[in-house]
Each structure stands twice: as C-alpha cells, then as structure tokens.
C-alpha cells in the first residue's frame, strides 16, 4: 500500500496553520494513483473542509490530532450537501465530506477534534458537522477518537455497507451532539464503540422511499447522553426494518434509552433488542406511531410538503433487559438552558399510537426494571392527552411526541398495541409511588401477561 505523509506535502503540525490544501493534496494524489494511505503523525494538524476519495485510508496516528479550524470561513458552503432536518440549516457545513465515493476509511488511534467551543463564531450561525457522507459504499471508521464535534459527529446518507469498530465519540457543551446518524443507509455494522453525547448517540432514519433502511447490527457498545441512546425513526418517510441491538450498556441517559418513532408515513418493522443493561435512563423504551406536526411545516423532513397517511409499526421484540435507577434519578435533569430532559414523573415505558392505527406484535420478555418512584398522584394531571391522527389547525402540545412530560403510570404506560406478549416482567419501585404500576388501554394481549410488581 502506498503511504503519503502529509508533511511531505507541506503540512505543519503546529495546531494553528490551516493545512487543508496540503492534506487535500495528499488525499487527491493518493486517489489518483490507485489509492493507499494518507498519514497524519507527530502533532496537531488544523484544517478546514476535507473531501475523502475512493480507495483512500486516512490514518491518524496515535501521535496526531486532526483539529477543526475555529474559523467558519474555512468550511465550504458548497458541494457538501445539506442537513436534512427542517429548520437546521445551521448544520449544513461540515469538516470531512465524501460524495459518491467507495472503499475508503478513517482509522488510527489518534484524535479528530471538532473545536466546538469556537462555534458559532461571532456573526455566524453555523456549527459544522464532523463527517457527512452522501451515496457512499464500503466505508470504515476504526479505532479513532472523535471529540467535541460542534454538531453531529457522523452522518451517512443514502449509502450502504458501513463499519464502525472500536471508535470513541465524546461530545459535550453544544446541542445536537449526535454520535452516528444514518438516513437512507443500509447494511451497517457497529461494534465495540463508546459514545457520549448531547443528543442521540445512534440514529436510524429514512427521508426517502428510494433508500430503504435495513440490516443494522449494533452490539457491544456503551452509550451515554443528556438526551437519547438509540433512536429509530422520527424521520420515517420510507421503510426501516431488520435491526438488531444486543449486548449494549446505556448509562446516564436523561431522556430515552431506545426510542422508535414512526411519524411520517413509512413503515418500521422487525426490530430486536436483547441482552442490554440500562442504568439511570429516564424512559428506557419509548415507542410511538402517529403523524407528527411541526409548527412551521409538516413533519421533520425537508423532503415533506404534506402530511402522509400514518404508516405502520410492527414486530418489535425486547428481551433480557435489566434496567436500574440509582438515587440520582430522584433529581430533575436539564439539557441546555432550562429545558427539562427528565424527572421522576417523566419516567417509564411508553408505547402509544394514534387511534385506529395500532402498533402490532410487541414482545416484552424477561425484563427487570427497578425505578426510582416517589411520585404523588397530586403531581400528575388527571387528563392524559391522546396522540392525534389528523392535523387541521393542530394544537402543537397535544400532537408533540414528547409532551406531556409525565407518565400516567410508574413503569408501563401502553396504549393501542395489537398483540402484546409480556412475559417475565418484574417491576420494583425504590420509593413508594402513588400511581399504578401499569396501565393498558386499547391493548390486546396474545397470552395472559406475566407482570409482577414487587
């Protein structure tokens, strides 16, 4: 394999020189000569936007840091695609970009640093993503540390065959600090990763029927966030199916551990979660089927110009889960500013669907949930709003998936599920709670439930 040292192209590892031209020249030269490896070693290399190319491996040695420039003008405003969430154009720019590329990788035991304390710059709204990849295939991230991204760490769009192994993502101090985000991407393998962030650690979404999202393998990972662990959906125009999550730990997640939201007309099915532990996770399981209204448009995806018919959500299996709260969960947890991410009355399992559109075929098997409790009935209003199914001059609060910020029940609040198999479920409150432990509305059980409250 041909190796290209960026220092041979004039790069200076002093942490202040913009090395974008030198590093890009090494990448381009490597690609033009059939591929190989571009190596950063021996110091801190600052850079603006870089474009990855086919058959190139970017190796960041353990002695090196690739540092994002603190100057927003060093990030291209063109040829880096865009953020696909409505109203998030401030995330359009990015640090490392690839388009229509294949068989490339970022490896090594060094660090990529997103310089998040520098953004937004004075006079600029932009917070660059660390990675964005569009229509790429056979991509690998291995061994690398990715820290302080100023927004999402990695977004893989309309792509296939992606491996993330042994990577360490650590984001703090800025909102939108996602770890690994996928939209329209299939055949994904994530293993032995540590992800700590300020939004969803891992996110699977679909903003097009042209690129179904399927065949995900997530295993042996440690996840922590002030927001969410693993999200499937919200952006759900197309299909998402065949996802396995196993042998993972979820620690100190102030919102949802695993959330599945079919809200934009697509289909989510065949999801398996097994052999996982959660400690101090406010809402361990959160599953929603509806149409979600945004006050400035329809849905979350820029691709939507109308609200489609409600989609389908079916064949979900959750087994061998151990979920435990510590006394920490008696506190109120905030995100940025005064927004409340979690508190005791907000906690528990929530499954809910719009009337006439039930979630189908759900298995809860061998689950141990020890919850902080301590909520009084007087803390909870008596009228719990239902999920609405049509939006005509909608009441934003009643149609918002995350409102109300309280649960009717201590542990399990399940509504509109057709075919629930709940066996070997054990529930325990650390502090006495005045709410019922479980509540089921519009739910059909396939067998007599085995749920013990002790």
Please report, in tens digits, the pLDDT of each residue of the chain (454 residues total): 789 999 999 999 999 999 999 999 999 999 999 999 999 999 999 999 999 999 999 999 999 999 999 999 999 999 999 999 988 999 999 999 999 999 999 999 999 999 999 999 878 999 999 999 999 999 999 999 999 999 999 999 999 999 999 999 999 999 999 999 999 999 999 999 999 999 999 999 999 999 999 999 999 999 999 999 999 999 999 999 999 999 999 999 999 999 999 999 999 999 999 999 999 999 999 999 998 766 555 778 888 888 788 999 999 999 999 999 999 999 999 998 888 999 999 999 999 999 899 999 999 999 999 999 999 999 898 888 777 654 444 454 545 678 777 888 999 999 999 999 999 999 999 999 999 999 999 999 999 999 999 9
Q: For residue 341, what is the enclosing H or E element?
A: strand 340-342
What's the pLDDT score for residue 239?
97
Angle at 184 between CA 231 and CA 235, to 5 degrees: 45
Q: For residue 26, what is the enclosing H or E element?
A: helix 20-32
Count CB neighbours of 388 within 10 A.
17
pTM of the model: 0.96
How do the domains of the chain map onto residue ranges?
A: 200-453
On the CB side of 130, how many CA atoms lie within 13 Å of its CA?
Answer: 30
Q: Check if the beta carbon of residue 350 is closer than 8 Å to that of residue 303.
A: no
Distance from C-alpha of 380 to C-alpha of 375, rounded to nearest angstrom: 8
Helix/strand/coil for 169? strand
What's the pLDDT score for residue 294?
64
Give CA separation, 437 vs 209, 392, 422, 425, in Å. Answer: 40, 35, 14, 12
What's the pLDDT score for residue 393?
41
Q: Which two tokens stand for residue 280?
A: 């101090």
What's the pLDDT score for residue 305?
83
Q: Check if the beta carbon of residue 139 is closer than 8 Å to that of residue 156.
A: yes
Q: Check if the beta carbon of residue 300 is closer than 8 Å to that of residue 264.
A: yes
Query: Could you tell me where the beta strands, DSSP code E, fall in 192-310?
Result: 194-197, 202-206, 213-219, 222-225, 230-236, 239-246, 249-262, 267-289, 293-294, 297-298
Residues 20-36 pLDDT 10s = 999 999 999 999 999 99
Alpha carbon 2 to its chain's center: 36
Give CA separation, 78 vs 49, 51, 94, in Å. Answer: 11, 12, 10
What's the pLDDT score for residue 295?
53
């Amino acid at each position: 394999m041909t190796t290209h040292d960026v220092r041979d192209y004039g790069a200076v590892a002093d942490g202040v020189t913009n090395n974008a031209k030198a590093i890009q020249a090494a990448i381009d030269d490597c690609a033009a000569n059939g591929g190989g490896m571009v190596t950063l070693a021996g110091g801190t290399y600052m850079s603006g936007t870089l474009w990855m190319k086919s058959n190139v491996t970017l190796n960041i040695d353990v002695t090196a840091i690739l540092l994002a420039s603190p100057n927003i003008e060093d990030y291209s405003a063109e040829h880096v695609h865009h953020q696909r969430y409505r109203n998030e154009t401030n995330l359009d720019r990015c640090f490392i970009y690839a388009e229509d590329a294949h068989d490339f990788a970022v490896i090594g035991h060094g660090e990529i640093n997103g310089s998040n304390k520098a953004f937004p710059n004075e006079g600029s709204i932009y917070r660059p993503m660390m990675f964005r990849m569009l229509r790429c295939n056979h991509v690998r991230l291995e061994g690398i540390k990715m820290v302080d991204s100023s927004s999402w760490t990695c977004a893989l769009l309309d792509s296939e065959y992606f491996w993330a192994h042994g990577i360490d993502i650590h984001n703090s101090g800025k909102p939108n600090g996602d770890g690994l985000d996928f939209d329209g991407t299939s055949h994904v393998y994530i293993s032995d990763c540590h992800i700590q962030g300020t939004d969803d650690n891992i996110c699977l979404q679909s903003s097009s029927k042209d690129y179904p999202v399927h065949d995900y393998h997530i295993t042996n990972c440690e996840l922590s966030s002030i927001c969410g662990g693993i999200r499937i959906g919200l952006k759900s125009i197309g299909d998402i199916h065949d996802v396995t999550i196993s042998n993972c730990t979820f620690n100190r997640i102030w919102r949802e551990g695993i959330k599945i939201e079919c809200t934009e007309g697509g289909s989510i099915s065949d999801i398996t979660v097994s052999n996982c532990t959660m400690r101090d996770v406010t809402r361990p399981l959160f599953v929603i089927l509806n149409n979600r209204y945004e006050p400035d448009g329809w849905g979350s995806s820029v691709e939507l110009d109308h609200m489609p018919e409600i989609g389908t959500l079916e064949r979900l299996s959750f087994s061998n889960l151990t979920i435990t709260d510590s006394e920490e969960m008696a506190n109120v947890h905030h995100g940025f500013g005064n927004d409340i991410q979690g508190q005791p009355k907000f906690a528990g399992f929530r499954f809910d669907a719009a009337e006439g559109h039930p979630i189908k075929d759900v298995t809860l098997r061998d689950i141990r949930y020890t919850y902080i409790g301590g909520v009084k009935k007087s803390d909870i209003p008596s009228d719990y709003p239902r999920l609405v199914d049509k939006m005509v001059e909608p009441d934003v609060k009643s149609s918002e998936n995350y409102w109300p910020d309280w649960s009717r029940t201590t542990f399990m609040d399940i509504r509109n599920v057709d075919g629930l198999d709940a066996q070997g479920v054990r529930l325990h409150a650390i502090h006495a709670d005045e709410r019922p432990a479980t509540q089921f509305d519009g739910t059909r059980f396939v067998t007599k439930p085995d749920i013990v409250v002790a």
